């Protein structure tokens, strides 16, 4: 049985959308519980949502076998979740919010804007986030349990060699072209004049509201938060830990109908009005204005990186030294190398790279530095980046000399699989299961008790 890794950043959102469509589009099908693991259950719609996702990827050969595999994967996930609940695994609201913030920044970047994301799912971002919350919480709990099962597992060089030598010669995988890429990221500095001008514009709107104009009307006209501006700036009921800290501190200190001073957060500048408070939940409306990066700001960042590139080319500084000194990327402590979130190492296949980065890197020679390139970061903010092609490997059969880290990862995965499969076997003996008779013909990898 395969180990279920962390869900990809788009998978949970895709499943949320597919399951919603399945529920409403298949009204003639009565949803049912197909399995129970401890106090958790799996619905037929859960299986169908994942099945549709696989089918969209063109990965279906045997529909029945695929559904059985999906069910077994879900049984494993629910077994981990059941253990998390037994162990009282704690997932704070802050952890959930930080995870959702990171994922939704990525989703919005992929769709192009928050408005396009909302149009696609036919619901406001606030509602999408609320529907997403339980999925994220459970995933974080499952991840923590799985990490405790595998964190201490290591492989020695002799185990890596033994693993590789067990692979039949004609079954050794081909390693496609791999890239190792360094980056220096510069966030343009927004001028003080622009920051002050933005505050002044918002100050003017606040004065208009205090003089009697309608907050909601001005929010609709001027707020730069597309999700709330169409609703008169209304954010909806939110609890502690769900808003920017500065926003939250100000909002919870307001009385009903009161207008805040100008508040600065990572998003920009806000003025806030408290609509209502229900215990530790508040509903607010706000007007958001965001300072703009000017052409001059971008030019200054680009000119700086041009100079940095020249220092590297003239060997007055190594790329690693330049990244440490000039980059705004937290990953600069890793020598500026990009880390592949899928594999955990610094090797990327072409299809794992942002197409814009690949277009630049593919034309470069090893050791070459790119020209400054305008990009967007995870927070959908514009940056200017330099890229450095450290290595490029041609497609080839895997070997220990050139691909040790990749083979090490394969060997580690095998060892982790064995440990988790052993754990599953032990937990099956002490956990309550019930599986619908419709799935009694499935050839499971483990002896899940079918009642």
Q: Which residues contact 11 (CB under 8 A, 6 or more apart)?
A: 53
pLDDT tens, N- to C-terminus, the chain (451 residues): 333 444 444 445 555 555 555 444 444 445 789 899 988 989 888 888 888 877 776 767 888 889 999 999 999 999 999 999 988 888 887 788 778 877 777 777 677 777 787 888 777 777 787 778 888 888 899 989 988 999 899 999 999 999 999 999 999 999 889 999 999 999 898 889 999 999 999 999 999 999 999 999 999 999 988 778 888 999 887 777 778 889 999 999 999 999 999 999 888 899 999 999 888 788 999 999 989 888 888 999 999 999 999 999 999 999 999 999 999 988 788 889 998 877 778 889 888 898 899 999 999 999 999 999 998 876 667 899 999 999 998 899 999 988 888 899 899 999 999 999 999 988 988 888 889 888 888 888 888 865 4
Parse the chain into domains and list their residue ranges. Answer: 11-157+408-439, 177-189+295-394, 192-289
Note the pLDDT of residue 97: 76
Domain formed by 177-189+295-394, architecture: Roll (3.10)
Q: How far apart are CA 309 and CA 317, in angstroms?
A: 9
- CA 187 to chain CA centroid, Å, is 21
**Same CATH fold assignment for domains 177-189+295-394 and 192-289:** yes
Note the pLDDT of residue 2: 39
Distances (CA, A) of 133 to 58, 95, 101, 128, 129: 29, 11, 11, 9, 6
Residue 364: phi and psi, rounded to 5, are -95, 155
Burial group, residue 75, by CB count within 10 angstroms (0-12, 13-18, 19+): buried
Rounded to the nearest 10 degrees, the angle between the axes of helix 11-25 and helix 93-111 is 80
Note the pLDDT of residue 6: 41
Note the pLDDT of residue 49: 80
Answer whether 203's CB lies under 8 Å from 271's CB.
no
Q: In a 3-state reduction of DSSP, which class is residue 43?
A: strand
Note the pLDDT of residue 27: 45
Q: How far apart are CA 128 and CA 130, in angstroms?
A: 5
What CATH number labels 192-289?
A: 3.10.50.40
Note the pLDDT of residue 237: 79
Question: Regarding the domain delimited by 11-157+408-439, which CATH topology (the fold level of the hierarchy) does it fall under?
Answer: Triger factor/SurA peptide-binding fold (1.10.4030)
Note the pLDDT of residue 39: 87
Nearest-CA neighbor of 307 among 173, 172, 126, 186? 186
Residue 393: phi and psi, rounded to 5, are -110, 140
Q: How far apart are CA 366 and CA 369, in angstroms?
A: 9
- What b/e readout covers 396-429, taking b as 16+ CB neighbours within 10 angstroms? eebeeeebeebbbbbbbbebbeeebbebbeebbe
- Report how many helices (DSSP H) and strands (DSSP E) the chain contains, helices first: 15, 13
| pTM of the predicted structure, to 2 decimals | 0.58
Nearest-CA neighbor of 366 among 403, 392, 385? 392
**DSSP calls for 257-282:** T-B---EE-SS-EEEEEEEEEETTEE
């Amino acid at each position: 049985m395969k180990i279920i890794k962390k869900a990809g950043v788009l998978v949970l959102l895709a499943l949320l959308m597919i399951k919603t469509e399945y529920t409403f589009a298949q009204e003639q099908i009565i949803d049912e519980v197909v399995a129970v693991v401890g106090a958790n259950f799996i619905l037929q719609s859960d299986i169908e949502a994942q099945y549709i996702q696989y089918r969209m990827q063109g990965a279906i050969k045997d529909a029945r076998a695929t559904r059985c595999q999906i069910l077994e994967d879900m049984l494993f996930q629910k077994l981990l979740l059941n253990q998390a609940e037994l162990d009282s695994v704690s997932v704070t609201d802050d952890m959930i919010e930080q995870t959702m913030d990171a994922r939704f920044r990525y989703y919005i970047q992929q769709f192009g804007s928050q408005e396009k994301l909302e149009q696609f799912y036919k619901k406001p971002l606030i509602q999408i986030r609320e529907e997403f919350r339980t999925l994220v919480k459970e995933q974080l709990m499952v991840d923590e349990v799985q990490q405790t099962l595998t964190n201490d597992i290591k492989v020695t060089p002799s185990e890596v060699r033994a693993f590789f030598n067990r692979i039949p010669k004609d079954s050794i995988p081909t390693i496609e072209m791999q890239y190792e890429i360094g980056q220096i990221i510069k966030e343009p500095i927004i001028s003080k004049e622009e920051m002050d001008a933005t505050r002044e514009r918002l100050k003017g709107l606040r004065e208009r509201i205090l003089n009697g104009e309608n907050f909601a009307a001005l929010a609709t006209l001027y707020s730069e938060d597309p999700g709330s501006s169409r609703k008169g700036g209304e954010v909806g009921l939110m609890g502690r830990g769900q808003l920017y800290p500065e926003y939250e501190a100000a909002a919870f200190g307001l009385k009903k109908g009161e207008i805040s001073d100008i508040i600065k957060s990572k998003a920009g500048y806000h003025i806030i009005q408290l609509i209502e408070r229900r215990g530790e939940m508040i509903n607010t409306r706000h007007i958001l204005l965001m300072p703009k990066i000017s052409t001059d700001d971008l030019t200054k960042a680009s000119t700086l990186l041009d100079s940095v590139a020249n220092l590297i080319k003239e060997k007055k500084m190594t790329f690693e030294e330049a990244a440490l000194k000039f980059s705004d990327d937290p990953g600069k402590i890793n020598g500026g190398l990009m880390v592949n979130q899928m594999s955990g190492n610094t090797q990327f296949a072409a299809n794992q790279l942002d197409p814009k980065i690949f277009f630049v890197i593919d034309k470069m020679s090893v050791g070459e530095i790119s020209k400054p390139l305008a990009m967007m970061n995870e927070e959908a903010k514009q940056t200017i980046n330099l890229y450095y092609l450290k290595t490029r490997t041609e497609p080839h059969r895997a070997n220990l000399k050139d691909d040790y880290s990749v083979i090490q990862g394969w060997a580690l995965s095998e060892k982790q699989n064995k440990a988790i499969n052993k754990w599953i076997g032990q937990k099956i003996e002490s956990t309550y299961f019930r599986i619908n008779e419709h799935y009694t013909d499935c050839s499971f990898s483990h002896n899940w008790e079918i009642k």
